[in-house]
Structure 1
Amino acid sequence: MTSAIRQDGAPALVDARITRIETIPLRVELERPATGSTLKLTHRCTIVTRVHTDAGVVGECFNGNDDELQPAIISLIHDELEPLLKGRRVAAIDDAWAATRRATEPFLRDRRVALRAQACVDSALHDAVGKLAGLPLHLMWGGARERVPVVALGGYYRQSGDLEALADEVAELKAFGIHGLKLKLGGKTPAEDALRAQTVRRAGGDAFVLACDANQGWSREEALEFVRRTRDLNLAWFEEPCRWDNDRADMAVVRTVGGVPVAAGQSELSRFGCRDLLVAGAIDICNFDASWGGGPTEWRRVAMLASAFNVSIMQHLEPQIGLMMSAGVANGRYAEVMLPWRDPFFYKLIANQPARPFVDGFYTLPTAPGWGMSFDPEYLEFARRK
């Protein structure tokens, strides 16, 4: 791996400048709906963002799963963020982040749009810096590990044959090289969902990693009932067990009284919200979402903050960035992945994705610079939002 060099012999990273930003909206229909306690997804959407530089290097990434908000995010990138960034040093990422953060300030704007636009640009900028330096990002950030353990998001509700489908899904995951499942629940009673968790444990065996995600679907009492019913299942963590309106206090009770590791953070918009979760003693794992909360720059701040509380860090979904981010910090935990039907972009858009990405429950990180991804141009055009 070598860094980019300017014509005068100096490293391009020193003074490379942003020239323009390109965005490509993607949208494909899922093979079947993905239904959880508080959500139903029928399409996989994302935005490919490319930051062009005067050094000839193009930083690129894809972020998010926004359908209705996608056009507004793209408009904000070009109308507000691109004019702020053109001409700035590529390597001055904190400076770019502070400049683009101002787009989140208008009081009547949906703040999610600005945060996700900022995340798109921030992710592509990090890729550009890695390419200019000639290093994969996880090595630039500390290189805590070369491979990352993974769990699959799954176990969505089925209208019929739910328990049989769960057992089949576990078998499919293990055959695919994934040795863990984050089970969707919270849409049924604690007793019914405990039976689903028991089905996964029986199908997977004692060594299979089992986590549960209620998507804020239960009250504190319901969450505690579920914990009591699954006490012998050795849950790796219980994610967003309680409804949003009093979640910090309720999760702290579930964690201390229930004695189960609790994960949350994806619903926070910044490091300050994650700080409050940590101070409240509400979590053992913080799964802040870089694509929802301003990008890898903010995610890494959250990771450092969490380390001061002896709390682990994960990225919520988005394995195209989550794998490297987890590998770049000492308190990184698992990375979340999905089967191809649920995340076709991870398997089809990334041209250099191995045919069998997972071996014995781990993903070995690419050695190419930046995020280590190249995109398949034919699939990019196929998935381009019409």
Structure 2
Amino acid sequence: MAKITKVDIFMIDLKPKVKRVDAIQSFVSQETPFVRITDEDGQVGLGYTYTIGQGGGAIMSLLRETLVPQLIGREAEEIERIWRDLLFSTHATAVGAITSLALAAIDTALWDLRCKRAKLPLHVMLGGAKDSVPMYTTEGGWLHKETEELVADALEAQAKGFHGSKVKIGKPHLNEDRERLAAVRKAVGPNYEIMVDANQSLSRAEATRRAHMLEELDIAWFEEPLPADDVLEHVGLAAASTVPIAVGESMYSVSQFKDYLVSGGAAIVQVDVARVGGITPWMKVAHMAEAHNVPVCPHFLMELHVALVCAIPNAPWLEYIPQLDGLTKTPMRMEQGRAFASTEPGLGIDWDMEALDALKIDGLSASFGA
């Protein structure tokens, strides 16, 4: 083992290359905090987290003032102990988004470091269930797009080998959502999956109405129909719908997923490695979902999630939303609609450090230790 001797933190702000609009928000920027951990042997692990346009400064403050100073001198291999100690040191702000997102930046850096020391890729270190996974695309299904654009994007994705497309829903009237989805279904045929996402925008009554409409179009899943913290309403909706209910991207602890799984409120778990607090809790959720015979289809961060979904047996999909274009020297490998986990030691993300340095936000960087 080797002790942590130095930790650096910095943040960049990524601007999406395409317009991204759903039923509750527009993605104008992606604030991305980084944590770089160096051990006494000189090995380095780089981890990261993100917010959609807001809260990045709060994460950096929590890292700088509370979490990172506790890392110096710790054994880097004791990831579970470190994660638990950091969680309880922020007891007054947990469970919560800012705390979980900050923990994730540290936890992913520690796993990157562990894998590099062991000379193993992350998906092998965590189990090595497979080396690739089918992808579905969300990048062309945003709510602001006209029906003709949705159809064209789905057909293009299908031609490229993608196995499905996600379409955002939540238009003012049900018939608007129906018209858009029906056009896509007619274009792609019966064997191409269509997922839908309401981004927590509906009431229980409206979600039930739309669930019946989605059944007619053979929709693969109904994502975030209701506010994510309302487990009981999801349980009721799931009982009334033959379309699988998918939740998880807006949940921030292992226990929240437990409540959904035990109660039957989720047929698909969409745990986000950043929002749940890192790889350590992500794997706990994944194994818990497997015990309930529920698939894991994570939200966003495809360049990191590809290794995690390839580590476990119950992850049938990876969501395609490009995030790190221009920040890596080698992109995630994709062939015929499948994503392949990197065989390089670490998280599998080939960072372009010069590109990251050029995007650092002034005044937020800090260093600790030697």
TM over 0.5: yes
- Rate the CA distance shift 1:175–1:18 in 2: closer, same or farther, 3 A: farther
Q: CA deviation at 1:32?
A: 4.4
Q: Which amino acid aligns with 2:298?
A: Q
* CA apart distance, 1:231: 1.9
Deviations 1:237-296 (A, max 9, x none): 111112346x32222233222211111122221111111111211111111222012111
Shift of 1:314: 2.6
> How much has 1:378 moved relative to structure 2?
3.5
Q: Secondary structure at the match of 1:305?
A: helix
Q: Counterparts in 2 of 1:78-93, with a 5 A limit?
A: 78-93=64-79
Decide whether the 8 Å contact of 1:289 with 1:299 is kept in 2: yes
> Matches of residues 284-363 of structure 1 in structure 2 within 5 Å?
284-338=267-321, 340=322, 343=323, 345=324, 347-353=325-331, 357-363=333-339
* Match in the other structure for 1:20: 6
Aligned residues: 361
* Residues 1:248 and 1:145: Cα distance change in structure 2 (over 3 Å): same
Tell me the amino acid that sits aligned with residue 59 of structure 1: G
Residue 55 of structure 1: SS of its match in structure 2?
coil
**Alpha carbons of structure 1 residues 376 and 333: separation in structure 2 relative to 1, 3 Å:** same
- Percent identical pairs in the alignment equals 30
Corresponding residue for 2:126? 141
CA distance in 2, matches of 1:42, 1:203: 31
Structure 1 equivalent of residue 351 of structure 2: 375
- 1:24-173 matches, within 5 Å, as 24-106=10-92, 111-154=96-139, 155-158=141-144, 162-173=146-157
- 1:366 pairs with 2:337: no
CA distance in 2, matches of 1:64, 1:383: 15
Aligned equivalents of 1:146, 1:294: Cα separation in 2: 24
Letter matched to residue 30 of structure 2: R
Query: Structure 1 pair 283/329, CA: closer, same or farther in 2 (3 Å)?
Result: same
2:228·2:248 contact (CA, 8 Å) conserved in 1?
Answer: no
Are the counterparts in 2 of residues 20 and 82 from structure 1 also a CA contact under 8 Å? no
Aligned twin of 1:220? 204
Shift of 1:209: 2.0
Give the drift of 1:73: 1.0
The ranges of structure 1 where at least 4 consecutive aligned residues each deviate by more than 6 angstroms after the TM superposition are: none
With structure 2 as the length reference, what TM-score do the two structures score?
0.91
Q: Distance in 2 between matches of 1:350 and 1:176?
A: 23
2:168 counterpart residue number = 184
Alignment partner, residue 365 of structure 2: none
The alpha carbon displacement at 1:66 in A equals 4.3
The answer to whether the 8 Å contact 1:104/1:115 transfers is no
Q: What code does the residue aligned with 1:78 have?
A: R
Residue matched to 1:3: none
User: What's the TM-score once normalised by structure 1's chain length?
Assistant: 0.88
